[in-house]
A and B are shown apart, each in its own frame.
Chain A
């Protein structure tokens, strides 16, 4: 039997990088095939080639044994390839049914007059069959992230995609939602569809796929049968050496006094409405307190309110016994609150400015880098060189614009700056999102070191593995409130997952 998809010797170059260097890949009909690799390994480039977004510089694409060439994404769609992107391509004010036919150039979508009933019926049918039912008349903005993802899958099914690519689909899901997605994928595979599942989470790959192809540095390293692989062996293939998977390292130390107290804190979200609904937290010196939750349940607003970027509407934040002025980031910084924000490229740094400028982003107001109103550029440069050296930032010197650093190195710059301010409290949000295994190890080591130095660490993360490996306590956020708190030494992913989904404790 010919493979449903076969990529032969695919090469794609961008100025200065070879994103795909002679990649081989093949997936059979009825198979869930995982594509595993670190960030920058070439997974996204490969899927963009397969969906017609990029044209390869060399190599061949075969579908069911026949060579094809895609001039545009539409060609790929017509050939039966569907894609569920990490960032959804949906129009929020439109209904589910309208989104499903959007851009569809066959059948209903092609007609001048649309018959919503027929589309709605078909969408409902598909939803039932694959256990991903969504109300076809609901508008996208009314749906949860998990439901929006279902719409993306329905869109692909409606267009009769025989090959479905999913790019890191579980990043936005609770463990339970992920499990139900996996069931859907299996049903689709049993019908003879081919599922290409892109991920860098080993246990998911292990749970859902039949075979795994590992990419590293733009090359195919190996294709193995999932049954024969262990998370450890996959990690070694992915990184190219043996790695210690996020395992718990106990810190033998007594916790100190409470450094941060959050008392019935309320705050608005970006679009109005209460994003925080009465949060109470106590963080002690030397403690790592994790905030778990599905993205969008108020975690970002919590970090911003504690760090003074967002005003509180009610309640207070108390640092070392003193109440912080709300909505005043400068006051929080001066009181010793360090912040590693979720969006490191646009919040954590000024992306076009140099590393030098970015390391003094918070300390430019005084001290050794200024003289009166003037900046001492030479002292700033020296400070940057020193930090680049001590935190092992690779990719360029102090004059390099921050945006040109890779994710891991950028995060090192942010961490270096925040640690240098000798904080009492460190608020970190998704500190390892998008980083590769080696960088994750480094970031985790820094966070442990901070806690050992009696800094209180508030770790906001959607990654339960990370939380269970690092934290002392876990609080779970759901719709702006803390719905449960567990000792991280004994908590299980299942138990936390239920809380994250809003099941009451």
Chain B
């Protein structure tokens, strides 16, 4: 008989062995899928690795894909740590992109040097403001934040589309007749382009570096400060927090605001690092916010692990774009990405539970 039981303790080696084992299984399953669809697994895998991580050019592309995922992953991880399920990273990213773009246009045209910090602050403020809506409802009316934050994603998507496609807003380019027919956002002034760090043939976007620093800051905040201590206690047992005299409501507001602010900076980074305009179509098609939830879960809410996993998923996404073509349908790319996620999440279960054959039980336990 096969039984699944909860592990009382989690040995350290499992934390390394299980993810590696999961990847091996994932590649095994993908090989089967590829064989069935008459593609050469070896060739496909080597292309996958090459186009994701194999060259400097591939890495540069991966950095670009990983940057927004890093922000949305941190956004989700920060809130999940306190058992606040902020599903609104997507909308908070749009809000950050909207406010960040406005700041870039205003400040970039006047005091150029201020535009990067101004965009970061504005993006953070936009994301935080949107996140405070579900936070307030949760803190004062016990409304489920999963639903409210999720619904606000649709609101934010409609707003960002409205600003460019359905109105003559401040963000919309109305300078030429073509732009009136084919709506698009105003180009940000050059001063509002975020700097790129160039070393050993690698181009590191400013947003990526900022995100890594942010991850370190979050780690410090959560593991070394009184604030982080309260977050840990509230996340583990809200009753114990009340008992210890902690102000749970304030903490809900603060953590959701931080979470939203991080996604908002991700949105501003999209404007400043890559798109140089408010780009509703590109942002709403990408689904960065939802990918961030998966990343946070895979990283077990650890900010450093979020960095790593955002990088890996960014690479896979790139490789996906590179692989698809006439001989390789895009659906198959999706299948491969899905298989990897499925195996890694499934493997996660093995670190918390163990599967045993009950025949083997007696012998192994008698020895123990």
The residues of A with any CB-CB pair to B shorter than 8 Å are: 13, 15-16, 57, 307-309, 328-334, 339, 341, 343, 346-353, 357, 360-362, 364-365, 370, 373-375, 377, 404
Q: Which residues of B contact A15 (CB under 8 A)?
A: 5, 7-8, 365
Cβ-based interface call for B237 (8 A):
yes
Chain A residues with CB under 8 A of B232: 350, 353, 357
Known: A13-B365, A350-B236. A377 touches B224 (CB 8 A): yes
> 25 A-B pairs, CB-CB below 8 angstroms?
A13-B365, A15-B8, A16-B8, A57-B361, A308-B245, A329-B242, A331-B245, A332-B245, A333-B245, A346-B239, A346-B240, A347-B239, A347-B240, A348-B243, A350-B236, A351-B237, A351-B240, A353-B232, A361-B243, A362-B244, A364-B230, A373-B226, A374-B225, A375-B224, A377-B224
CA distance A375 to B228 in the complex (A): 9
Expressed in whole angstroms, the Cα–Cα distance for A308 and B243 within the complex equals: 8
Within 8 Å by CB of A350, from B7, B227, B237, lies: B237
A279 to B233, CA, bound (A): 32
B198 within 8 A of A: no
B229 and A375: CB pair below 8 A?
A: yes
Residue of B nearest to A377 (CB): B224
Residues on B with C-beta less than 8 A from A343 are: 239
A375 lies within 8 A of B242 (CB): no
Q: How distant is the Cα of A147 from the Cα of B242 in the complex, in angstroms?
A: 33
Q: Mark B300-342, 1 if CB is under 8 A from A, else 0.
A: 0000000000000000000000000000000000000000000
Closest Cβ of chain B to A325, distance in Å, is 11
- Give min CB distance, B353 to chain A, whole Å: 12
CB–CB B243/A357 < 8 A = no
Which chain A positions have C-beta within 8 A of B242?
309, 329
Q: Considering only CB atoms, which chain A residue lies closest to B1 in the complex?
A: A55
The 7 closest A-B pairs by CB, nearest first: A330-B245, A329-B245, A350-B236, A350-B240, A361-B244, A347-B239, A350-B233
Chain A hits for B241, CB < 8 A? 350
Residues from chain A with Cβ under 8 Å of B245 in the complex: 308, 328-334, 362
Q: A346–B243 Cα gap in the complex (Å)?
A: 10
A329–B8 CA distance with the chains assembled, in angstroms:
34
Question: Secondary structure at chain A's binding surface: helix, strand, loop or mixed?
Answer: loop
* Size bracket of the B interface: 20 to 34
Q: Are B236 and A364 in contact (CB under 8 A)?
A: no
Flag if B226 contacts A353 (CB, 8 Å).
no
Contact (Cβ within 8 A) A364 B226:
yes
Given contacts A57-B361, A350-B233, A353-B233, contact A373 B225 (CB under 8 A): yes
With A350-B233, A350-B241, A375-B226 given, name 7 new contacts (CB 8 A): A15-B365, A16-B8, A309-B242, A347-B237, A349-B237, A360-B229, A374-B226
State the CA gap A343–B240 with chains docked (Å). Answer: 10
- Complex: A242 Cα to B247 Cα, angstroms: 48
Q: Which residues of B contact A332 (CB under 8 A)?
A: 245
Q: Which of A16, A328, A349 contacts B240 (CB 8 A)?
A: A349
Q: How far is the CB of A326 from chain B (nearest CB, A)?
A: 14
Query: Whole-angstrom distance from the CB of A493 to the nearest CB of chain B?
Result: 32
Closest Cβ of chain B to A15, distance in Å, is: 5
Q: Is there a chain A Cβ closer than 8 Å to B362's Cβ?
A: yes
Contacts of B7 in A (CB 8 A): 15
- When the two chains form the complex, which single residue of B226, B236, B243 contacts A329, counting CB atoms closer than 8 Å? B243
- Whole-angstrom CA separation of A331 from B362 in the bound complex: 55
Closest beta carbon of chain B to A194's beta carbon, Å: 31
Out of B224, B233, B362, B368, which one reaches A361, CB within 8 Å? B233
Contacts of B246 in A (CB 8 A): 330
> B243 to chain A: which residues have CB within 8 Å?
307, 309, 329, 339, 341, 347-348, 361
Nearest CB of chain B from residue A251's CB, rounded to whole Å = 29
C-alpha spacing A317/B20, complex, angstroms: 59
Of A331, A349, A352, A374, which one neighbours B224 at CB under 8 angstroms?
A374
A329 near B362 with CB under 8 A, answer: no
Q: Contact between B226 and A365 (Cβ–Cβ < 8 Å)?
A: yes
Bound: A15/B224 CA distance, A: 34
**Smallest CB-CB separation from B365: which chain A residue?**
A13
Residue of A nearest to B354 (CB): A15
Contacting residues, chain A, for B368 (C-beta < 8 A): 16
A348 vs B232: C-alpha distance when bound (angstroms):
15
- B5: chain A residues at CB < 8 Å are 15
B226 touches A352 (CB 8 A): no
Bound CA span A178–B243, Å: 33
Pair B240/A375 contact, Cβ less than 8 Å: no
Within 8 A of A (CB), among B235-288: 236-237, 239-247
How far is A363 from B109 in the complex, measured between Cα atoms in Å?
51
Interfacial chain B residues near A365, Cβ < 8 Å: 226
Are A353 and B361 closer than 8 Å at their CB atoms?
A: no
Whether A373 touches B237, Cβ cut-off 8 Å, given contacts A329-B242, A362-B245, is no
Q: Kindly list chain B residues whose C-beta atoms are within 8 Å of the C-beta of A13.
A: 365
* Residue of chain A at shortest CB distance from B236: A350
- What is the CA–CA distance of A203 and B8 in the complex, to the nearest angstrom? 37
Of all chain B residues, the one with the shortest Cβ separation from A334 is: B245
Residues of A within 8 A of B365 (CB): 13, 15, 57
Pick the contact of B225 from A309, A360, A375 — CB < 8 Å?
A375
Residues of A near B229 (CB, < 8 A) are 357, 360, 364, 375
Residues of B within 8 A of A334 (CB): 245
In the assembled complex, the Cα of A377 lies from the Cα of B225 at a distance in Å of 9
Query: What is the CB-to-nearest-CB distance from B196 to chain A, in angstroms, rounded to a whole number?
Result: 34
A62 to B145, CA, bound (A): 54
Identity of the chain A residue whose Cβ is nearest the Cβ of B247 in the assembled complex: A330
How many Å lie between the Cα of A404 and that of B237 in the bound state? 15
* Assembly CA distance A393 to B333 (angstroms): 56
CB nearest to A417 among chain B residues: B244
Residues of A within 8 A of B361 (CB): 57
Given A16-B8, A332-B245, are A370 and B240 neighbors across the interface (CB < 8 Å)? no
What is the CA–CA distance of A330 and B247 in the complex, to the nearest angstrom? Answer: 9
Contacts of A361 in B (CB 8 A): 233, 240, 243-244
The proximity string for B residues 151-164 relative to A, scoring 1 for CB distances below 8 Å and 0 otherwise, is 00000000000000
Shortest Cβ gap from A317 to chain B (Å): 15
Closest residue of A by beta carbon distance from B229: A364
Contact B8 A348 (CB under 8 A): no
Q: A215 to nearest B CB, angstroms? A: 21
Residues of A within 8 A of B233 (CB): 350, 353, 357, 361
Most chain A Cβ neighbours within 10 Å, of B5, B233, B361: B233
Question: Complex: how many Å from CA A361 to CA B230?
Answer: 9
CA–CA, A328 and B239, complex, Å? 14
Q: C-beta contact mask, B216-234 vs A, less than 8 Å → 1, else 0?
A: 0000000011110110110
Chain A CB within 10 Å, residue with most, of B224, B239, B245 = B245
Neighbouring A residues of B244 by C-beta, 8 Å: 329, 333, 361-362
The smallest beta-carbon distance between A66 and chain B, in angstroms, is 24
Q: How far is the CA of A331 from the CA of B244 in the complex (A)?
A: 10
Minimum CB–CB distance for A500 against chain B, Å: 27
Interface 1/0s, chain B 123-136, versus A by CB < 8 A? 00000000000000
Give Cα distance in the complex from A499 to B368, angstroms.
53
Contact residues in A for B225 (Cβ distance below 8 Å): 373-375
Q: How far is the CB of A126 from chain B (nearest CB, A)?
A: 38
